[in-house]
Chains A and B, each alone.
Chain A
Amino acid sequence: DTAVSQTPKYLVTQMGNDKSIKCEQNLGHDTMYWYKQDSKKFLKIMFSYNNKELIINETVPNRFSPKSPDKAHLNLHINSLELGDSAVYFCASKGGRAEAFFGQGTRLTVV
C-alpha cells in the first residue's frame, strides 16, 4: 500500500488552462503539505494543512488553491497556468514531530 499517493505523475498543459493535482495519505497523519521543486531543485513549501485547516500559505499566488475535504486528502487546483508554474509538485504528510512522507511527485509542464 502506498503511504502517500498523488496523481497524476505527469501533467502537460497549455498556458491559461486550469488543472488539479490530487493527494491522498493512508498514514493517519494530521498534517499535509504541498511543496514546489523548481529547476534549481529547491524544495519550497507552499501550503500546510492540519486536520483540514489551512495553517501555512507561503505567499503563493491566488491562482493556487488547495482544498482538503478530509484529513487524508489534500488537493491542489491551479487556475490560469503560466510558464513559470512548470515544476515538480510534491505532496507530503507528517504526524506530529516525526518524519515526513512524500508522494511520488507531479511533473507539471506548461507550454
Chain B
Amino acid sequence: QQPVQSPQAVILREGEDAVINCSSSKALYSVHWYRQKHGEAPVFLMILLKGGEQKGHEKISASFNEKKQQSSLYLTASQLSYSGTYFCGTEAGTASKLTFGTGTRLQVTL
C-alpha cells in the first residue's frame, strides 16, 4: 500500500511557507522526497535515513519520525520555482522497493 500524503494540494503566495506530510503503515528504513514539474521526470530533493542521517537540498528541510513512520517536508519562503507535485518515496526493508506516496500538488503564485 502506498504512503499517504497530505494535503493533496496547496496554493501559496511567494514567500509563504508550507508543510507536506507523508505517512506510511510500514516500519520505514528511509524516506525520500522528490519534486515533479509538469511534463518532466521526478527530481530528487532529500533523503532521510533511519538513525537521523539526511542528505539533500540546501533550501528545503525535512523530518523523519521513525516511531510513527511519518515524514514532513518543510518549504520556507517559497519561490515560484517551487511549484510542482511533491512525492515522498519510502523504503521499508529492502532497498530494491521504493514506493511513492499519493503526491501533493503545490502552486506558488505572485
Q: Which residues of A contact B (CB under 8 A)?
A: 31, 33, 35, 41-45, 48, 50, 55-56, 90, 92, 94, 96-105
Q: How far is the CA of A108 from the CA of B98 in the complex (A)?
A: 23
Nearest CB in chain B: distance from A104 CB, A = 6
State the majority secondary structure of interface residues on A. Answer: strand
In the complex, whether B96 has a CB less than 8 A from a CB of chain A is yes
- Residues from chain A with a CB closer than 8 A to the CB of B42 are 43, 90, 102
Whether A48 contacts B103 in the complex (CB less than 8 A), given A43-B87, A98-B47, A103-B41, comes out as no
What sequence of 0s and 1s flags, for each residue 92-106 of chain B, a beta carbon within 8 Å of any chain A beta carbon? 001111111011010
Closest to A50 in B: B96
Q: Is the CB of A55 within 8 A of B97?
A: yes
- Residues from chain B with a CB closer than 8 A to the CB of A35 are 100
- Residues from chain A with a CB closer than 8 A to the CB of B43 are 102
Q: Is the CB of B89 within 8 A of A97?
A: no
